[in-house]
């Protein structure tokens, strides 16, 4: 397929470079600001999909969603617009890294917990803004090199194109997109049971389930239900318990295995919230990471002062007093002896 944009083309003061990604719905290009030389990524929606007004609305809602959340785990979107032919575009933060899928089956428990905590923290912030991702998967989680965070790896959550935004966000510019009842949206291998029954009424617990599948795959090397046949996969997610993660990866800490099991509970109301997941992962970090003990902010008792060593200046008055006392006693004794004779 020929590129949708040409190298050297100018888009909002950004010069297009190479194409760095493409799929059925659109393409992504590297670009740089003409004067500032800031590197960005420009994402465009394929013209065939532009004929669907709801998809165009979702495309622009992605920009609003990430900027409403405002969290380090979210990719920054700087601008958006349309070309003269109506093809929409997003100007985004340029990311250099790999998707989490590249790391499956290779990370230590500490590395998994560190990355999982960052993802959970970002999704907790999204849920606080009443935004549900609905398409969380390893390909939508980028791992970047960042020496300013423990472990040197930072995550970025991508692609809020299927995100569900609360109606109140329409006042902030969100486009109203109606998801028909009974329509399943998402990536089948990672969809929560309730998402298979219809994406219109799901809440943050669907993201909890999807993150559980992602963590299971990251540790075990494959998702719990890798079947590619649609109706079979649907049945597995709805009714079948996942294979034991402890059997597939025996070295995984028990508390991490238990957390993932809780995230993969079939009934949404019985799963923990993303806020609770973040807290449990934070507790695991404290127990697993001994390289940098936490700084105690509790006030410490002041040390008791040590007694100063006695000096010669301290002893002189005592010696003088003892000498005077001895002299007086001697005089009294002598007087007593003389008076008796």
CATH code for the domain in which residue 200 is found: 1.10.510.10
Number of neighbouring beta carbons within 10 Å of residue 261: 16
Share of the chain above pLDDT 70, in %: 79
The domain in which residue 85 lies consists of: 1-94
Number of structural domains the chain divides into:
2
- Whether residues 192 and 274 fall in one domain: yes
Read off the pLDDT band of 61 (50, 70, 90): confident
User: Which residue matches tokens 């990866």?
Assistant: 249
Three-state DSSP class for residue 93: strand
- Whether residues 213 and 74 fall in one domain: no
Q: 52 to each of 5, 48, 164, 169, 173, how far by Cα in Å?
A: 21, 8, 18, 22, 19
- Whether residues 259 and 177 fall in one domain: yes
Asked whether residue 307 is assigned to any structural domain, the reply reads no
Please check the confidence at residue 327 and state whether its pLDDT lies above 70.
no
pLDDT tens profile 122-157:
999 999 999 999 999 999 999 999 999 989 999 999
Its pTM stands at: 0.80
Task: Tell me what pLDDT residue 186 has.
Answer: 82
Structure tokens at 133: 């991702």
Per-residue pLDDT, averaged over 70-84, amounts to 92
pLDDT tens profile 161-208:
888 876 646 545 555 555 555 456 789 999 999 999 987 789 999 999
Task: Tell me what pLDDT residue 228 has.
Answer: 72
- Whether residues 151 and 75 fall in one domain: no
Three-state DSSP class for residue 179: coil
Q: Indicate the residue among 51, 73, 94 that finishes a domain.
A: 94
Task: Tell me what pLDDT residue 64 has.
Answer: 86
Asked whether residue 79 is assigned to any structural domain, the reply reads yes
Task: Tell me what pLDDT residue 78 has.
Answer: 92
Task: Tell me what pLDDT residue 22 has.
Answer: 84
- Whether residues 150 and 117 fall in one domain: yes
CA dist 256 and 279 (Å) reads 12
Task: Mark out the alpha helices in the chain (DSSP H runs).
Answer: 47-50, 53-69, 109-128, 193-196, 204-220, 230-239, 245-248, 254-263, 274-288, 312-340
Residues 166-173: contacts with CB under 8 Å, at least 24 apart: 166/129, 166/130, 166/131, 168/130, 169/64, 169/68, 169/129, 169/130, 169/131, 172/64, 172/68, 173/64
- Whether residues 74 and 134 fall in one domain: no
Asked whether residue 170 is assigned to any structural domain, the reply reads yes
Instruction: Name the residues annotated as catalytic.
Output: 135
Read off the pLDDT band of 303 (50, 70, 90): low
Asked whether residue 240 is assigned to any structural domain, the reply reads yes
- Residue 7, Cα to own-chain centre: how many angstroms? 35
Task: Tell me what pLDDT residue 49 has.
Answer: 85
**CATH label of the domain that carries residue 40:** 3.30.200.20
Three-state DSSP class for residue 191: coil
- Taking the CA atoms of the chain, what radius of gyration do you get in angstroms? 34
- Whether residues 134 and 242 fall in one domain: yes
Task: Please provide the average confidence, as pLDDT, over all residues in the chain.
Answer: 85
Task: Tell me what pLDDT residue 77 has.
Answer: 92
Asked whether residue 327 is assigned to any structural domain, the reply reads no
- Whether residues 87 and 122 fall in one domain: no
Q: Indicate the residue among 43, 68, 94 that finishes a domain.
A: 94
Structure tokens at 56: 């165009």
Task: Tell me what pLDDT residue 209 has.
Answer: 98
- Whether residues 130 and 213 fall in one domain: yes
CA dist 64 and 167 (Å) reads 13
Task: Tell me what pLDDT residue 57 has.
Answer: 85
Asked whether residue 262 is assigned to any structural domain, the reply reads yes
Kindly compute the dihedral angle of the four CA atoms of residues 96, 97, 98, 99, in this order, to the nearest 10 degrees.
-80
Indicate the angle between helix axes 274-288 and 254-263, nearest 10 degrees.
Answer: 170
Please check the confidence at residue 95 and state whether its pLDDT lies above 90.
yes
CA dist 338 and 189 (Å) reads 119
Through-space distance between the first and last CA atoms of the chain, rounded to whole angstroms: 139
Task: Tell me what pLDDT residue 296 has.
Answer: 43
- Whether residues 119 and 268 fall in one domain: yes
User: Which residue matches tokens 């980028």?
Assistant: 142
- Whether residues 55 and 109 fall in one domain: no
Asked whether residue 194 is assigned to any structural domain, the reply reads yes
Structure tokens at 252: 């995984």
- Whether residues 168 and 252 fall in one domain: yes
Q: Indicate the residue among 264, 291, 318 that finishes a domain.
A: 291
Asked whether residue 314 is assigned to any structural domain, the reply reads no
CA dist 181 and 200 (Å) reads 6
Task: Tell me what pLDDT residue 23 has.
Answer: 77
């Amino acid at each position: 397929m020929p590129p949708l944009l040409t190298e050297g083309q100018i888009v909002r003061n950004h010069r297009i470079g190479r194409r760095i990604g493409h799929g059925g719905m659109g393409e992504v290009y590297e670009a740089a600001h003409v004067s500032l030389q800031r590197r960005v990524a420009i994402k465009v929606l394929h013209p065939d999909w532009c004929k669907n007004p709801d998809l165009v609305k979702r495309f622009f809602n992605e920009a609003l969603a990430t900027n409403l959340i405002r969290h380090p785990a979210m990719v920054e979107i700087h601008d958006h617009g349309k070309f003269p032919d109506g093809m929409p575009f997003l100007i985004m933060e340029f990311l250099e890294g790999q998707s989490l899928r590249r790391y499956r089956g290779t990370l230590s428990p500490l590395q998994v917990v560190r990355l999982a905590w960052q993802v959970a923290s970002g999704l907790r912030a999204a849920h606080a803004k009443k935004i549900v991702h609905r398409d969380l998967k390893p390909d939508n989680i980028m791992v970047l090199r960042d020496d300013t965070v423990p472990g040197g790896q930072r995550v970025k959550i991508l692609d809020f194109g299927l995100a569900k935004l609360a109606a109140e966000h329409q006042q902030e510019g969100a486009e109203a997109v109606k998801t028909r009842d009974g329509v399943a949206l998402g990536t089948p291998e990672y969809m929560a049971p309730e998402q298979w029954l219809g994406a219109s009424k799901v809440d943050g617990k669907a993201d909890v389930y999807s993150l559980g599948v992602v963590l299971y795959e990251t540790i075990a090397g494959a998702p719990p239900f890798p079947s590619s046949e649609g109706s079979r996969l649907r049945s597995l997610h709805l009714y079948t318990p996942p294979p034991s993660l402890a059997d597939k990866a025996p070295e995984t800490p028990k508390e991490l295995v238990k957390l993932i099991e809780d995230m993969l509970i079939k009934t949404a109301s019985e799963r923990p919230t993303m806020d609770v997941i973040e807290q449990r992962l934070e507790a695991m970090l404290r127990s697993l990471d001994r390289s940098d003990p936490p700084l105690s902010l509790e006030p410490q008792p002041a040390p008791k002062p040590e007694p100063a060593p006695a000096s010669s200046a301290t002893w002189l008055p005592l010696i003088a007093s003892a000498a005077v006392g001895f002299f007086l006693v001697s005089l009294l004794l002598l007087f007593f002896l003389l008076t008796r004779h």
